[in-house]
Chain A
Amino acid sequence: MDVIATYALRLGDDSLILGQRLSEWCGHAPALEVDLSLANIALDQVGQATHFLNLAGELEGKGRDGDALAFRRDVMDFTNCLLVEQPNGDFAQTIARQFLFSHYQALLFEQMAAVKDTRFAAIAAKAAKEVAYHATLASDWVIRLGDGTDESKARMVAGLAWVWRFADELFAMDAADAAAIEAGAGVDKSALRGAWDSRVDAVLAEATLARPAPHRATTGGRIGRHSEHLGHLLSEMQFLQRAYPGATW
């Protein structure tokens, strides 16, 4: 796959895997309103995934579409960040994951909406509105849970502690990023870190939560080195396509 296709693939994989995770909540959330909001975010993510994966397939030029990419690759070919494949855990862990990721996605798509390559810019412009809302929703819950009861605070602290080691990977740059920027499709993610830190810190302060202690970054998702969780997610998600090769649905 060429580097620009890989760049689209990474964006699509992030959205796909997070959408898959969030949809596990459907019908089981702590309150009906929460169920609807989580399903909303999941739907937005699946929509973004569809756009980016179709684009990746197009750029690759080997006749694979978004579905082929989503349902016919194995773990080592998935390029999502490790954060999004983390299990839902309790509601606090789900919110912690969403909080870190949505603020990153919001900053990313704000910038990407202005890149030269109109294919990337168009998807990002639409997605920017969606993820800005996700970031607000997640932040509101971080504040509610952090500044709620003793139990909710303890759970929020534990949720953040679980996901914090995956934050650095969001901003890591490599050759695909450099090529995408060069081609007018990509965004300098390392430059988003300052704004992300201040947005996240402001919410944590309002939530009366301390920023988790620094942790050596756990990385590898972008080059197919994942956690053990991803294989299980894929085996479920890809079941029908694997069990009935060649069938259309």
Chain B
Amino acid sequence: MYTTDMSGNKKAEVVAEDPEELAAFEARVANDEFIEPKDWMPEAYRKTLVRQMSQHAHSEIVGMLPEGNWISRAPNLRRKAILLAKVQDEGGHGLYLYAAAETLGTSRDEMTEALLSGKAKYSTIFNYPTLTWADIGAIGWLVDGAAIMNQVPLQRTSYGPYARAMVRICKEESFHQRQGYEIMMHLAVGTPEQKRMAQDALNRWWWPSLMMFGPPDEKSPNTAQSMRWRIKRDTNDELRQKFVDITVPQAEAIGLTVPDDKLKWNEERGAYDFGEVDWEEFAAVVRGEGPVAKERLQARQKAWDDGAWVREAARVHAEKRANAKVAAE
């Protein structure tokens, strides 16, 4: 998930806080009140939020790359416009999220530097390549679909600016999910080549999509704390199960096969049993060893470096204008 805790198995460090303030804060959160930027908050809460929100923002921005890869090759004018608008939406999501994270006292430039240095993470899913047009369908359907599953509950997360950003973002993500599924539906009833393309995309994106929900609950030590703080509202495994249960019938409806031998409806549980995610691969991708991780960071670094003179010119020009205005007064 864009927001899953990828900090590994480290327990969040404990900083001594004023017990009365802490108790009052915990009570407000437990009461489902929103915490606003000027309110007192424990340091660990602030840190966790900055990490989670900046990671989410970075995921939106890095996520523009795999889909952006197909804008110039979209198969018709309508699909081109839809994809361009989608990728632009993701950029907009990045912008709201950076702005929301900045209210916690970390600047966008600092967050960007952390991304480029490899210190900050982004969703593992964007370290996989988009090879065919069907990948654009698969990403919308599965990746935006998985993102929604996590983000809908975050509309009621305890930090006000984050919750409000989520409300706006969720509306657009569900559009993206439907558009992606629509691409897949179309391919699935197309020529044999198109159908093969769709199945191949599902084969490649299925397991990485399940990884988006993060490590299994027993290996996610910060989940309890985050849930108590209402930064997270469901566990990784709960969300993963929900995703499987919703998505498998969607695949069946268009005649595609989910690439999992162990997938089976469990009447008793009223849910699908499914195979084990390759957690070793997940860990490697989190470490920055995903198939196209180097390409993704290189592209972000290049945009940042190549744009430096533009940002500098804009800054200098604004300064000249401000000085001219002062001189004129």
Contacts of A249 in B (CB 8 A): 75-76, 79, 133, 183, 186-187, 190
Contact B72 A247 (CB under 8 A): no
Shortest CB distance A16–B (Å): 8
A16 to B72, CA, bound (A): 11
Taking a contact as CB atoms closer than 8 A, the residue among A16, A152, A246 that contacts B310 in the complex is A152
Shortest CB distance B231–A (Å): 24
Contacts of B91 in A (CB 8 A): 27, 32, 35-36, 39
Shortest CB distance A40–B (Å): 7
Taking a contact as CB atoms closer than 8 A, the residue among A24, A66, A143 that contacts B72 in the complex is A24
Contact A144 B314 (CB under 8 A): yes
Contact B61 A237 (CB under 8 A): no
Contact B75 A31 (CB under 8 A): no
Q: Is B85 an interface residue (CB 8 A)?
A: yes
Contacts of A247 in B (CB 8 A): 75, 190-191, 193-194
Shortest CB distance B180–A (Å): 13
Assuming A39-B87, A152-B312, is B73 touching A236 (CB within 8 A)? yes
Contact with B along A146-157 (1 / 0, CB 8 A): 011101100100
Shortest CB distance A19–B (Å): 8
Contact with B along A46-79 (1 / 0, CB 8 A): 1101100100000000000011001100000000
Contacts of A49 in B (CB 8 A): 77
Shortest CB distance B88–A (Å): 4
Assuming A30-B307, A31-B310, is B316 touching A50 (CB within 8 A)? no
Contact A66 B77 (CB under 8 A): yes
Q: Is B303 an interface residue (CB 8 A)?
A: yes
Taking a contact as CB atoms closer than 8 A, the residue among A67, A91, A145, A240 that contacts B307 in the complex is A91
Contact B73 A237 (CB under 8 A): yes
Provide the main secondary structure of the chain B interface: helix
Contact A27 B75 (CB under 8 A): no
Q: Is B28 an interface residue (CB 8 A)?
A: no
Q: Write the chain B residue with the least CB distance to A12.
A: B77
Q: Is A34 an interface residue (CB 8 A)?
A: yes
Max chain A Cβ within 10 angstroms of own Cβ: one of B65, B75, B193, B194: B75
A152 to B318, CA, bound (A): 14
Contact A90 B306 (CB under 8 A): yes
Contacts of B313 in A (CB 8 A): 144-145, 148-149, 151-152
Contacts of A31 in B (CB 8 A): 307, 310-311, 314
Assuming A240-B73, A247-B193, A248-B186, is B84 touching A143 (CB within 8 A)? no
A33 to B307, CA, bound (A): 12
A189 to B296, CA, bound (A): 45
Shortest CB distance B71–A (Å): 5
Q: Is B302 an interface residue (CB 8 A)?
A: yes
Contact with A along B29-61 (1 / 0, CB 8 A): 000000000000000000000000000000001
Provide the main secondary structure of the chain A interface: helix
Contacts of B94 in A (CB 8 A): 32
Max chain A Cβ within 10 angstroms of own Cβ: one of B65, B76, B91: B76
A16 to B76, CA, bound (A): 12
Contact with B along A181-192 (1 / 0, CB 8 A): 000000000000
Q: Is B221 an interface residue (CB 8 A)?
A: no
Assuming A30-B306, A247-B194, is B317 touching A50 (CB within 8 A)? no
Contact B303 A29 (CB under 8 A): yes
Contact B87 A43 (CB under 8 A): no
Contact with B along A131-165 (1 / 0, CB 8 A): 00000000000011101110110010000000000
Q: Is B101 an interface residue (CB 8 A)?
A: no
Contacts of A111 in B (CB 8 A): none
Contact B316 A149 (CB under 8 A): yes
Shortest CB distance A221–B (Å): 20
Q: Is A176 an interface residue (CB 8 A)?
A: no
Shortest CB distance A248–B (Å): 7
Contact A152 B309 (CB under 8 A): yes
Contact A27 B65 (CB under 8 A): yes
Contacts of A70 in B (CB 8 A): 76-77
Contact A244 B191 (CB under 8 A): yes
Assuming A66-B77, A236-B72, A248-B186, is B311 touching A30 (CB within 8 A)? yes
Q: Is B299 an interface residue (CB 8 A)?
A: yes
Q: Write the chain B residue with the least CB distance to A207.
A: B317
A145 to B317, CA, bound (A): 8
Q: Is A28 an interface residue (CB 8 A)?
A: yes
A27 to B94, CA, bound (A): 11
Q: Is B320 an interface residue (CB 8 A)?
A: yes
Besides A28-B303, A149-B312, A152-B313, 17 new A-B residue pairs in contact (Cβ under 8 A), listed by A number: A28-B299, A29-B307, A30-B310, A32-B94, A33-B95, A35-B88, A39-B85, A50-B81, A53-B77, A71-B75, A91-B306, A143-B317, A148-B313, A152-B309, A249-B76, A249-B183, A249-B186
Q: What are 28 residue pairs bridging A and B, where the CB atoms are less than 8 Å apart in the complex?
A: A19-B80, A23-B71, A26-B88, A27-B64, A28-B302, A28-B306, A30-B308, A32-B95, A39-B87, A40-B88, A46-B84, A50-B81, A53-B77, A66-B77, A71-B76, A144-B313, A145-B310, A148-B313, A151-B309, A152-B316, A236-B73, A237-B72, A240-B73, A247-B193, A249-B75, A249-B183, A249-B186, A249-B187
What are the 6 tightest A-B residue pairs by CB atom distance, in nearest-first order?
A30-B307, A148-B313, A152-B313, A249-B75, A30-B310, A27-B68
